Every structure is written in C-alpha cells, then in structure tokens.
Amino acid sequence: MKTYSSRSELQSDINFLRSIIDDQEYLGYLIIQLVDRWKESSHDSPWFGGNLDEGDEAANTLVKISTDTGKSNEWNGEHTVFNQVNTPAYNLRSKN
C-alpha cells in the first residue's frame, strides 16, 4: 500500500480518482481508504505516530485557539459564531 509524506500527495490522488471514477459510492470508499493511509503514514497527519506531544510536527499544524478572544489565530477560512439568544420562543405553526 502507498505511504504518504504530505497531505498534498493525498489531495493529488483524490483529484485523480475523481477524474476517472464516476461511481460515487465506490469513489467514496476509495477516498476513505486513502485518507486512512494518510493518517497512518504522513508526518503532517495529526494521527501519525499514535500520541501527540507538544514538540510533534503534527501538533504544530493543528489550529490554535486563543483562550481570551475565542478566535483562531491560524485559520484563513470562514468562521461560524454562535450567539446566545435571550428572546421568548414563538409558536410559528399556522392556526388552521
């Protein structure tokens, strides 16, 4: 079985499979197999080596959350913020 050295290799293989396989169920099965191999063999996988220590390369790739602001200091994508709503609940069912 293939061993991975980076997540970009995994992404390249997944893109290739998507270009040649039309059966979505089989494609999903193969992608799961590849991701499992990446988890076990790649140094940039958070699951690599079983246990993570603070000095591990994989631990340094995880998103770090600031405890005082609750905002990510490394995420470049969109954030979803959930706010507590303290308004009364309304019954939205029709009166029929």
Per-residue pLDDT reduced to its tens digit, 19-62: 999 999 999 999 999 999 988 888 888 887 754 454 555 445 55
Closest CA to 38 of 83, 82, 8: 8
**SS3 state of residue 72:** strand
Who wins on pLDDT, 86 or 65? 86
> What six digits make up the tokens of 70?
């609750």
